[in-house]
Each structure stands twice: as C-alpha cells, then as structure tokens.
Amino acid sequence: MIEAAEERTRVTVPLPAGEVDVTAAWGGDADEPDAPVVAIAHGAGAGMDHPFLVGFARGLQERGLRTVRFAFPYSEAGRRMPGPAAHAILAWRAVVAAIRLRRPDAPVVACGKSYGGRMASMAAAEGLAVSSLVYLGYPLHPPGRPDSPRIAHLPSVRPPQLFVEGTKDPFVQPVGQFEDAVAACRDARIVWIDGGGHSFEVAGRKRPAEEIGAGLAPLVGEFVAIVR
C-alpha cells in the first residue's frame, strides 16, 4: 500500500530523442529545511511502487528523512526491459535537479535497488552531485558470471558509498571478489545481511517485501546521519 501522504509529481527527463516525463513520489514531513532527501530508484524487474521500496521509503520517513521514489523512462513507458544506461543516468540527473529546486539546502542521497543503484553509481562516476550513495543489492555481475564484473567505474565515485548486501545474493558471489571491488573504492563500506538473497529474503523466514524493505531503513538512516 502506498502512503496517502506522498505527493505525486512529474519530472522531465531530456532524452536524446526528446523529453519524457517520469513519475516521482515525494514523502516525509521533516521540519528541518536541510533534512536529507533520499532519492530511491527501482530495480530492473520491479517498478517504483514495489512493496519493498514503499516499505523502505516509509521506514526512512519515520526516521526524519524525506524520500523521492521515481520511475526510469522505460518503466514509465510500460516496458519490462531497461533502456540504455545513458537514459537512466539522465533520469538520475533530472531527479536530483528537481530535488535541489525544492530543497536547495538539503543533502541529496542517491539510493537504488540493484539496477537502480548501479545506474546511480554510473551517474556519480560521471559527476552527479550527491552527498552519498546507497546500494541495496548492488549487482556486481550477472548470476553465475563473476568473469563479467560491473566495477570499472566505481573507483571514480567520489561521495561516500554504502553497499547493503545479502550474504547469499548470487549477484555478488564469490563474496571475496565483491569485497575486493569495494575495497578499491575511494570511500565505501559494506553492511552484510546474514543469509539474505538479492532482495534480502532469508530462507526459512517468510516476511512481506514491505517489511523487509522497512527493516533496512535504520542502517541506511544511520549511514546518512554520519556522512551528511
């Protein structure tokens, strides 16, 4: 269920073939004008209103943070497969610019689930101005393909980075390879979720996706408070 208090707006993304509008859901009622704003991007196979992201955003709001969940252009158009990475990077730039128009004094945190986080990291490597980045299940490589790591750009990311990862996530096996990739970053740390898969599900422990997402909010909120 989506919080009734959220405000739905449109953000214009200037794609090479022309402008498109994507949906953004603004939430949180923090009193401080400089309260951090966490921009949250969805994964490749799930949209911005997936219960995991709704629960995660609500958990952050309960900790005094503002949130902006948003859709990538391909998802807004109803397509299942992501478009070019360049389009996602342009979407990130447009969303961050929209946040700064409304909250010019607030730190902006770029946060994404899987694909959404990887696109944020690529945007940051190209100069996206954010205070920090949070990745929920960073996809180091396709499952079973540790020979194809997606890490070349990570050392170019300047803001602090938090990788939240499940120890059983097939996208980061072997774990040692992932830890080496993070160690090569400028300022990065990992929080491991013991037994967690790619969506932080734990075998033998059934929980709603919304609850799982909300459960990650405290550790992300702590990181944001430290690096803001």
- Listed in sequence order, the residues at least 6 apart from 43 whose beta carbon sits closer than 8 Å to its beta carbon are 50, 112, 113, 114, 115, 116, 137
Distance CA 81, CA 147 (A): 23
| pTM, rounded to two decimals | 0.95
Angle at 69 between CA 169 and CA 64, to 5 degrees: 95
Per-residue pLDDT of the chain (228 residues), as tens digits, is: 344 478 999 999 999 999 999 999 999 976 777 889 999 999 998 999 999 999 999 999 999 999 999 999 999 999 999 989 999 999 999 999 999 999 999 999 999 999 999 999 999 999 999 999 999 999 999 888 888 898 999 999 999 999 999 999 999 999 999 999 999 999 999 999 999 999 999 998 899 999 999 999 999 999 999 987
Pairing assessment for the beta strands 7-15 and 18-27 based on DSSP bridges:
antiparallel
User: Element (H or E) spanning 217, and its range?
Assistant: helix 209-227
Domains and CATH numbers, the chain: 7-227 (3.40.50.1820)
Helix axis angle for 51-61 and 209-227, nearest 10°, is 40
C-alpha distances (whole Å) from 33 to each of 27, 73, 102 are 14, 29, 10
H or E segment to which residue 123 belongs: helix 115-125
Enumerate residues 6+ apart whose C-beta is below 8 A from 225: none
